[in-house]
Amino acid sequence: MLRVVFMGTPDFAVPTLMEIVGQGHEVVAVYSQPPRPAGRGMEERKSPVHEKAELLGLPVFTPTSLRSEEEQAKFAALQADVAVVVAYGLLLPKEILEAPENGCLNLHGSLLPRWRGAAPIQRAIMEGDAETGVEVMRMGEGLDTGPVCMIERITISENMTAGDLHDRMMVLGADLMVRSLAALSRGALAEQEQDEEGVLYAKKVEKAESRIDFSKPAQDVHNHIRGLSPFPGAWCEMEIKGKKQRVKIIRSELADGSGEPGSVLDEDMTIACGEGAVRLIELQRSGKGAMNAEDFQRGAALKIGETIA
């Protein structure tokens, strides 16, 4: 069994932490982002990894940076065999990367070198990729540039959302990481350098990207909607009971039909695009829960021929 430092922050990282503990490895410390204001009351909230680690009785550290000599000395004193990093959210300086005997292993949500960077799940769907995966890689100083150790490929189905893919990766990634640790403990963890051709960077999704442009082809609109679902959510404006309201589209599908981009083609919420059409399946008005199209239409009463944008 290995002495492991676990470094992670969001829900995505929790199953990996639990699998590592469940396999009997000694987690000597957990690093996570500091508690931050959240919710209507803006009370400080611990990260999902922080909360789970405390339930498991593990020591938790939440530094705002790892660049100070003091933090680096504290990390080195843990005498870890390996650090496991899953969506931690802080850059690791060279001193941290080199402190564990076997370095740092990162779980990344793409088929590297495609989609290095912050938002690989969303970008893969927004670009219409048919396949992605989770990979365990040995971390280097560059952004997601280290050698790849293990891969699990995932088919992206036509209507899969970023949320669906996130949940699938979360489970597969946890299993992949513990298999990597098992191989590492036997001295059998193979590594393969990344190909430098085909590098793409998955920049962070900005809120300004979220508005739907129905003048684009239906496939692009559909990819945009599912790539931003459930967060931050692709949105458009609709006139509901005489007032313009912002509505998030949670799920859609490709549909037959044509017309002026943004026009409502039928009572089933089929919307014309620049080429073809999409059917809106699940929607969410501001301040309300998500609902299916039939329930949404019952309250919104959009008319055939109306335009949304």
Annotated binding-site positions for (6S)-5,6,7,8-tetrahydrofolate: 110-113
CB burial of residue 195 (10 Å; 0-12, 13-18, 19+): exposed
The strand pairing partners of 116, in sequence order, are 201
Which amino acid is present at 60? Answer: V
Angle between helices 162-185 and 14-22 (to 10 degrees): 30
**What's the CA gap between 308 and 32, in Å, rounded?**
42
CB–CB of 248/272 below 8 Å?
A: no
Q: What is the largest CA-CA distance in the chain?
A: 68
Locus of tokens 């088919």: 155
> Cβ(232)–Cβ(208) under 8 Å?
no
Q: Spell out the alpha helix ranges (H) of 215-306.
A: 218-227, 293-300
- 3-class secondary structure, 131: strand
Annotated binding-site residue numbers:
110-113
How far CA 243 is from CA of 186, 239, 240, in Å, comes to 65, 5, 5
d(CA 233, CA 221) in angstroms, rounded, equals 13
Contact 40, 46 (CB under 8 A): no
Q: Are 229 and 212 in contact (CB under 8 A)?
A: no
Q: In the structure encoding, which two tokens stand for residue 136, read together?
A: 């365990």
Q: What size, in residues, is the chain?
A: 309
Could you identify the residue written with the tokens 């008319």?
303
